């Protein structure tokens, strides 16, 4: 039905474009519609809106998505700014069609007190191209600081590392994990690898080739840590969110514990597989937990398409090429990905590996459900006017030279993909279009409900 509204002057009108809408009653649906935006908010959605706008957009072959969220990035500031910082990382996010990022605490110093968390927000002001939230970090000694960090309205929760990875944070004792979980009101976000098993594997394998990475960071280490975290959460009546799940065994276990645990997968694990990726990329394919063989990849895809996976993140974790080219295992683990997350997944959509609706669900509604994110991820009146506009038919080649990250490389260099970011709107402002950034950094904090 056509709608006719009074001629009110507004800031932006997206006119007669295919848009991906969501409601609890109807779920996802792709409809041609108008979207009226004013003062950074969605004012109205429907066909035939007759507002007069300062700016009107109409691109008939482009699809409007709700602003997409990457709920796991490492922008390395403070302490490792030679790898990345909030400015360069958020620029890469913008070019990748991401409108909001959740940034991780394993910086130097790690974000393990309210004062250090506040420092990150102060650093972000006027320097980030996209909206942002910052995790607090859990350690063996800071359980008393958990509530202060979680109380910050723009903190999605606490992140813990159960296995050693990059940075100074590690919780490998049950007592410390229990103390943190007891104090959390938000879901505890977990890097699940069992440190005892990792150390045992390393001593027995004495790994000297990156091909051994999946054996050192073994399936058993991931499953053991995931089980420990979930079982402890059940005992304490808490919730956990398991990051970057890589194994078929974890998928099956988490499928059976969906009342207490949610989990994330990464494009790297859905796209690359061992041993081929290690032969082709060497240590550029090295990350924790590792990229595994096709059997595990197929299990992850089943989890995506059966609705068991809750979120999709990049785990953007840049290191310089010089650092990555150190002899294994002195080479650091981590792969950049915030700029390539969406193009890689749009290519999967175009190859019928998942639907566009499912992809967007993992990067919007899934994030809302896990973290109680406010006013983002849905094209609906009253929500923030953040949109990701995509060209589903564009063929192009990913290239290192186009990467905005300070590390200036991607494991997907040279990959031909179908599907591209066309434009990004944040807070009602057209910030990026067809290769050109149109605004200064104007990202704002994202907000969460402090509910259990």
Identify the structural domains of the chain with CATH numbers, from first to last. Answer: 9-64+380-392+416-437 (2.30.40.10), 67-371 (3.20.20.140)
- Confidence category of residue 2, pLDDT binned at 50, 70, 90: very low
Using alpha carbons, list the distances in angstroms from residue 432 to 14, 210, 346.
Answer: 15, 38, 18
Contact predicate 367/311, CB 8 Å: yes
Q: Is pLDDT larger for residue 166 or for residue 331? A: 331
Q: Is pLDDT larger for residue 16 or for residue 168? A: 16
Per-residue pLDDT, averaged over 425-434, amounts to 98
- Confidence category of residue 164, pLDDT binned at 50, 70, 90: confident
Per-residue pLDDT, averaged over 235-251, amounts to 98
Per-residue pLDDT, averaged over 85-112, amounts to 98
Catalytic annotation, pick one of 315, 347, 384, 391:
315
Tell me the C-alpha distance between 299 and 131, whole Å: 33
Query: Is residue 168 predicted with pLDDT exceeding 80?
Result: no
Instruction: Give pLDDT, residue 169.
Output: 85
Count of Cβ atoms closer than 10 Å to residue 77 Cβ: 22
- Mean pLDDT rounded to a whole number for the chain: 96
Count of Cβ atoms closer than 10 Å to residue 306 Cβ: 10
Q: In sequence order, which residues have a C-beta less than 8 Å from that of residue 326 and are 6 or more positions away?
A: 283, 332
Query: Is residue 309 predicted with pLDDT exceeding 50?
Result: yes
Q: Tens digit of pLDDT for each residue in 319-371?
A: 999 999 999 999 999 999 999 999 999 999 999 999 999 999 999 999 999 99
Per-residue pLDDT, averaged over 85-113, amounts to 98
Comparing CA positions, the residue from 358, 378, 273 lying closest to residue 310 is: 358
Per-residue b or e along 2-15, where b marks 16 or more CB atoms closer than 10 Å to that residue's CB: eeeeeeeebbbbbb
Taking the CA of residue 294 as centre, how many other CA atoms within 13 Å lie in the half-sphere pointing to its CB? Answer: 1
Element (H, E) at 397: strand 387-397
Per-residue pLDDT, averaged over 201-213, amounts to 96
Query: Is residue 378 predicted with pLDDT exceeding 90?
Result: yes
Instruction: Give pLDDT, residue 1.
Output: 41
- Confidence category of residue 7, pLDDT binned at 50, 70, 90: low
Q: In sequence order, which residues have a C-beta less than 8 Å from that of residue 52 and are 6 or more positions away?
A: 7, 8, 9, 10
Per-residue pLDDT, averaged over 370-381, amounts to 98
- Kindly report whether the global pTM for this prediction surpasses the value 0.85: yes
Cα three-residue angle 100-106-109, rounded to 5 degrees: 115
Q: Tens digit of pLDDT for each residue in 109-143?
A: 999 999 999 999 999 999 999 999 999 999 999 99
Tell me the C-alpha distance between 346 and 353, whole Å: 10
Per-residue pLDDT, averaged over 51-63, amounts to 96
Active site residue 118: no
Q: Is 423 helix (H, G, I), strand (E, B) or coil?
A: strand
- Confidence category of residue 6, pLDDT binned at 50, 70, 90: low
């Amino acid at each position: 039905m056509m709608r006719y509204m009074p001629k009110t002057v507004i800031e932006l009108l997206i006119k007669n474009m295919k848009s991906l809408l969501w409601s609890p009653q109807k779920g996802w649906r792709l409809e041609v519609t108008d979207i009226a935006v004013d003062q950074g908010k969605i004012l109205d959605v429907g066909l035939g809106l007759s507002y007069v706008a300062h700016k009107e957009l109409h691109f008939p072959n482009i699809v409007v998505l709700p602003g997409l969220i990457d709920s796991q990035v490492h922008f390395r500031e403070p302490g490792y700014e030679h790898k990345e910082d909030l400015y360069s990382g958020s620029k890469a996010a913008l070019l990748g069609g991401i409108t909001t990022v959740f940034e991780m605490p394993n910086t130097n110093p790690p974000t393990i007190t309210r004062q250090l968390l506040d420092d990150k927000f102060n650093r972000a002001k006027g320097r980030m191209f996209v909206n942002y939230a910052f995790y607090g970090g859990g350690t063996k000694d800071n359980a008393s600081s958990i509530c202060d960090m979680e109380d910050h309205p723009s903190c999605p929760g606490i992140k813990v590392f159960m296995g050693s990875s990059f940075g100074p944070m590690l919780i490998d004792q049950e007592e410390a994990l229990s103390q943190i979980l007891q104090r959390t009101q938000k879901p505890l976000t977990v890097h699940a690898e069992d440190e005892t098993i990792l150390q045992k594997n390393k001593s027995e394998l004495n790994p000297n080739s990156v091909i051994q990475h999946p054996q050192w960071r073994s399936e058993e280490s991931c499953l053991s840590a995931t089980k420990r975290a979930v079982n402890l959460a059940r005992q304490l009546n808490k919730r956990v969110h398991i990051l970057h799940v890589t194994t078929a065994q974890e998928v099956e276990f988490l499928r059976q514990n969906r009342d207490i645990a949610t989990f994330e997968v990464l494009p790297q694990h859905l796209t690359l597989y061992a041993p081929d990726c290690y032969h082709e990329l060497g240590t550029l394919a090295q990350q924790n937990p590792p990229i595994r063989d096709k059997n595990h990849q197929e299990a992850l895809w089943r989890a995506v398409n059966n609705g068991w996976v809750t979120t999709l993140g990049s785990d953007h974790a840049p290191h310089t090429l010089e650092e990555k080219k150190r002899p294994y295992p002195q080479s650091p683990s981590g792969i950049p990905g915030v700029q390539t997350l969406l193009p890689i997944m749009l290519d999967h959509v175009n190859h019928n590996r998942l639907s566009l609706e499912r992809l967007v669900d993992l990067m919007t509604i899934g994030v809302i459900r896990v973290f109680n994110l406010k006013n983002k991820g849905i094209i609906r009146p009253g929500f923030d006017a953040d949109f990701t506009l995509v060209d589903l038919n564009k063929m192009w080649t990913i290239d290192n030279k186009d990467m905005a990250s300070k590390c200036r490389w991607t494991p997907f260099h040279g990959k031909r993909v179908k599907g591209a970011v066309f434009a990004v709107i944040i807070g009602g402002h057209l910030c990026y279009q067809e290769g050109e950034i149109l605004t200064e950094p104007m990202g704002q904090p994202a907000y969460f409900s402090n509910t259990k």
